[in-house]
Amino acid sequence: MTRQYKVAVVGATGAVGQQMVECLEERQFPVSELRLLASERSLGKYLSFKGREIPVDVLTRDSFQGIDLALFSAGGSVSKEFAPIAAAAGAVVIDNSSAWRMDPEVPLVVPEVNPQDIALYKNKGIIANPNCSTIQMVVVLKPLHDAARIKRVVVSTYQAVSGTGQKAVEELADQVRALFNNQELPRKVYPHRIAFNCFPHIDVFLENGYTKEEMKMVNETRKIMGDDSIRVTATTVRVPIFYGHSESVNIETERKLTPAEARAILSQAPGVKVVDDPAHNRYPMPLEAAGQDLTLVGRIREDFSIDHGLNLWIVADNIRKGAATNAVQIAEILIRDYLR
Ligand code: NAP
Ligand code: 3JM
C-alpha cells in the first residue's frame, strides 16, 4: 500500500486555505489525517473533506505533533513564528507567505521551473511558495529563458481582490451591491473604493518608491530562475476582479525569438496553455483562467521598439496555481521523491 500522510493546513478557513483543502481532495493526495488550523475566531467551524465534516482547531505550539506535512497560509507573522515550530516537531512546512521566501537556506519553488530545489527542504524543514504574480510569470518565462536568455522583464499586473483574502472578496461584492442600491459604500480592507476602480498599490510602499509586492516579483523571479542577472521591474495594480490575475509582460532576450518560435516553445511547456488567436477574439482572460490550474498566455507579439523584444499577456487563477495548487504540487514531489 502507498504511504499516507498526516497533513495540517494552517489558515484553513481563509481564501487560500479552503482552496488547499479542495486541492488535496481533487488531486487525491494520500491523506490519512487532516488537521485544520486557524485562529480562535474559527472555533466551532467545520470544513468538508472527502464527504466528512472536519472541525477547525485553534493553532497552538502543540498543533504539529505527528504531522508529516504542514501547509501554511495564515500570513507572514504566523509563518515566522510557527513554521519553525512545525519543522521542529518533524513536519515539512510548505509556506505560502512571504516570510521565508528570500531566506537563502529556504528553497522557493515552482514545480514546472525549479523542482530540483525541493531537495533543499532539508536545511530548515521549510519550502516557500512564491507570490501569486511571480508564479504565473515564471511558468511562462522559464522555457523562453532556456531558449533565448531573458535579459530584462518589464511587467504590469492586474490583480484580483481574492489575492488580498476572503474579506476583500466580500468588500468588492458589498460595494457593487451598495452602489446599485444607492447605499453608502462599505470600506474596510482597501484605502480606496475598489468597485469600478483600480489602484497601483499592493502591499506596503517601500523607501525606493516601489511596493513590497513589486519587489517580491523582482527578487523572487531571480531566485526561482536561478539567475541574478535578469533585470526585472514591476508595477502591481489591484483591479475589481474576483479571481484571476493578469499580467502585461515585456521581455528583452539575448538571442532573437520570433513570436512563432515563442508560441511553439510555450505550446510544449508544462502547465502552460497558449490562447492566442486574435482573429477570433481569443486571448487569455481571468474569467477563463479562474477555476482551473493552467497558466494562459496570449497576445504574443514582437516588441519592435527594441532588437530582441516580445510582448506577452499572462493570466492564471491566483488562488489555485498562484497559491494552493502550487503548494500541493510541491507536496506531491516531496512525497514522491523524498518522504516515501
Ligand atoms: P484570508 O482569507 O484572510 O485567510 C487568513 C487565514 O489565516 C484564515 O484562515 C485565518 O483564520 C488565519 N489566521 C489569521 N491569523 C491567524 C492567527 N493568528 N492564528 C491562526 N490563524 C490565523 O487570507 P488568504 O487570502 O487565505 O491568505 C492567507 C495568507 O496566505 C496571506 O496572508 C499570504 O501570506 C498567503 N498568500 C499567499 C499567496 C501567494 O501568492 N502564494 C496568495 C494569497 C495569500 P480565521 O478565519 O480564524 O481568522
Ligand atoms: C499575499 O502577513 C501578511 O499580512 C500577509 C500579506 C500577504 C502576502 C505576504 O506577504 O505573505 C497577503 C497576500 C502575500 C504574498 O503571497 O506575498
Please give the Cα distance from 120 to 225 (Å, whole number): 15
- Assign 1 a pLDDT band (cuts: 50, 70, 90): low
| Cell of residue 204, nine digits | 506596503
- Beta-carbon contacts of residue 180 (< 8 Å; ≥ 6 apart): none
Looking at every residue in the chain, the average pLDDT score rounds to 98
What would the DSSP string read from start to end of 19-37? HHHHHHHHTT--EEEEEEE
**What pLDDT band is residue 112 in, cutting at 50, 70 and 90?**
very high
> Contact 138/113 with Cβ under 8 angstroms?
yes
**pLDDT score at 291:** 98
> What share of the chain has pLDDT > 70, as a percent?
100
Task: Place 2 in a pLDDT band, splitting at 50, 70 and 90.
Answer: confident
CB atoms under 10 Å from CB of 48, counted, come to: 11
Backbone angles phi, psi at 34, to 5 degrees: -115, 120
- In tens, the pLDDT along 311-332 reads 999 999 999 999 999 999 999 9
Question: Average pLDDT in the 121-131 region?
Answer: 98
Q: Which residues of 91-105 are buried (b: 16+ CB within 10 A; e: fewer)?
A: bbbbbbbbbbbeeee
Q: Is 162 in the pocket of ligand 2 (CB under 6 A)?
A: no
pLDDT in tens, 290-307: 999 999 999 999 999 999
Name the residue among 164, 241, 153 with its Cα closest to residue 202: 164
Contact 107, 47 (CB under 8 A): no
Which set of grid coordinates corresponds to residue 15?
A: 481564501
Q: What is the pLDDT of residue 84?
A: 98
* Cβ atoms < 10 Å from Cβ of 298: 21
Exposed, middle or buried: residue 266 (CB in 10 Å: 0-12, 13-18, 19+)? buried
Calculate the CA dihedral of residues 242, 244, 248, 252 and round it to 10 degrees: 150
Helices (H), 226-296: 259-267, 286-289
CA distance 196 to 146: 40
Torsion angles phi and psi, residue 202, rounded to 5: -130, 125
Segment holding 58, helix H or strand E: strand 52-58
Cα–Cα nearest to 132, from 250, 189, 30, 216:
216
How large is the average pLDDT for residues 183-210? 97
Q: Which amino acid is at 73?
A: S
334 pLDDT band (50/70/90 cuts)?
very high
Q: What is the DSSP letter of 273?
A: E
Tell me which residue has its CA closest to atom 9 in ligand 1.
11
The pLDDT assigned to 175 comes to: 98
Residue type, 84: P
Q: Does the annotation count 132 as an active-site position? A: yes
pLDDT of residue 255: 98
Q: How far is CA 68 from CA 7, 305, 307, in A?
A: 6, 52, 51
pLDDT score at 254: 98
Q: What is the pLDDT of residues 23-62, one digit of tens each?
A: 999 999 999 999 999 999 999 999 999 999 999 999 999 9
Among this protein's residues, is 23 annotated catalytic? Answer: no
Ligand 1: lining residues by beta carbon, under 6 Å = 11-17, 38-39, 41-42, 59, 73-76, 78, 96-97, 129, 131-132, 163, 165-167, 322-323
- Residue range 252-272: average pLDDT? 98
The span from the CA of 47 to the CA of 115, in Å, is: 31
Give dist(CA 283, CA 274) in Å, integer. 9
What pLDDT was estimated at residue 340? Answer: 87
- From 23, 132, 145, 198, active-site residue: 132
Looking at residue 247, its amino acid is: E
The answer to whether the beta carbons of residues 96 and 36 sit under 8 Å apart is no
| pLDDT for position 228 | 97
Task: Tell the residue nearest (CA) to atom 25 of ligand 1.
Answer: 165
